[in-house]
Each structure stands twice: as C-alpha cells, then as structure tokens.
Amino acid sequence: MERVLDLILAPLARLLVARGLPFGAAEARLRRAYVLAALRAAGRDATDSRLSLMTGLQRRDIARLRDAEGPTPSRPNPLARIVAAWLADPGYLGRPIPRRGPAPSFEALATALYRDLHPRSMADQLLDAGVAVEEVGMLHLVAQHYQPRQGTPDQLDYLAANLADHMAAAVANVVDAPRLPERAVHYNGLSAAALDEIETLWRAEAERALLAVNARARSLQDRSPGTGRFRAGTYLWREDQT
C-alpha cells in the first residue's frame, strides 16, 4: 500500500504546497478522514478503542473527532449547470439566444434553474470566462462546457468534486465489488507530435461522449426524477519522461 499511497499523494502534495497549505493542516484533515472512514466501516456505535485499533490513532483523537461532520456534498456549479442546460434543453440546443426577455433567452434559462441568482451576473461571468460572447444583445455559446479560470475558488471546487467522485468510484471497485467503469489507455515511448495527435483525438471523442450523456441525462431528469446523482468525466495526462 505504500507505493499506492506515494502515487496518490504526490500530485496532492504538489497542490497543497502550491496553495500554501502547511503540513499540520493537511495532517489534521487526514486524521478526521480516518476517523470518519472507520465509523463508516464499523458503525456509529463502535467504541473508541475499536476505532483506535482500526486507525492507529489515539483514543483522545477518536473522542475529539468522531462527531465531526463529513465532507460537504458537492453541488453542481451554477454556471456549469446553465451551460449544460443551454446545450441540452430542446428549446435551446446551444443556439444563440437573447440575453434578456422571455424564453428562449439567457434570462429565462438562468431564472428557471436559479431563482436566487441574478441572470445578469451569471451572464457576465460566462462572458468573462470566454464561454460565451455577446453580439448586439445576443449571447453565443463558444465553448461546450464551463471552464473556471485558473486558480479561482471555482476551479478548486471543480477539482475537488471531480477527484472525489473519481476516487470514490475507483475505491468502491476495490473495497466493495467491481461495478463502475474506471479504465484508461496508456502508452509510453511516443514523440511530442504523437502525443499531440492523441490529445486532439481524445478531446474530440470525449467531447462527443459528454455531450451525448448530457443531452440524455437532461431528458431523463424531466421524465424520471429521483434522488440519485452521477458524474461521468474524462481526463488525459501527458509528460516527457526524459
């Protein structure tokens, strides 16, 4: 398990160092996560002694942390949800729309999804992020998804939600039973030009798959509502190993 932990922690440590989080703060969060994981496995009625044996933490740590709240569930980013609806809703389908006015308009779409957020500010954020452009009162969608600007809190929230669900799926396949798709294609010994070609291919194919799933999920949300959620994503990593 040490090698597994090294591989997982290396990029996480890079992020924490880059964001200036001291080791003590990260250690405190890991202690909390250990206790919550042990409680999930053993049940809320498990004794402090049993949890101490499961985690290797002292009983005073267990007593202090066992009532800690779990991670706050991730919520869809409002801008990402609006772009997804703009692409998938039959009344919009990614077409240019008026910024204001009755449906189909950005104002109507945003208000239907979020009555507590101002459509003007959300439109401004999409324009600032380069996801949409405005021409003579019309908004044109120029990207297939909302991409938060680098280093912003929105981007960190996006990173946390994606990695948390990806790891949850991967860990469930190991700890419970393999049932969720979690696969990757990997090669080495390729030139930079070959990597460029693969990246271009992957971006195009991933975009097609995500748009298809988005459209289907949007229609099912109206016809088959419930309490379940899912996240399906893609990633690509490349590096020079010299």
Quickly tell me which residue has 């799933």 as its tokens.
Answer: 213
Distances (CA, A) of 60 to 66, 78, 141, 154, 176: 10, 41, 55, 36, 30
Q: Tell me the pLDDT band of 11, cut-offs 50, 70 and 90.
A: very high
Residue 11 Ramachandran class (φ > 0 left, ψ -120 to 50 alpha, else beta): alpha
Q: Quick check: 39 and 46 in contact, CB under 8 A?
A: yes
| Residue 72 clears pLDDT 90, i.e. is over it | no
Q: How far apart are CA 15 and CA 25, in angstroms?
A: 14
Residue 144 token pair? 């297939």
**pTM more than 0.85:** no
Angle value at C-alpha 220, between 216 and 224, nearest 5 degrees = 165
For the segment 141-157, the average pLDDT, to the nearest whole number, is: 86
Note the residue count of the chain: 242
* Percent of the chain residues past pLDDT 90, beyond the cut: 70
| Res 74: pLDDT | 67
| List of residues 6+ apart from 91 with CB closer than 8 A | 103, 104
Domain ranges of the chain: 2-65, 78-141, 184-236
| Res 1: pLDDT | 84
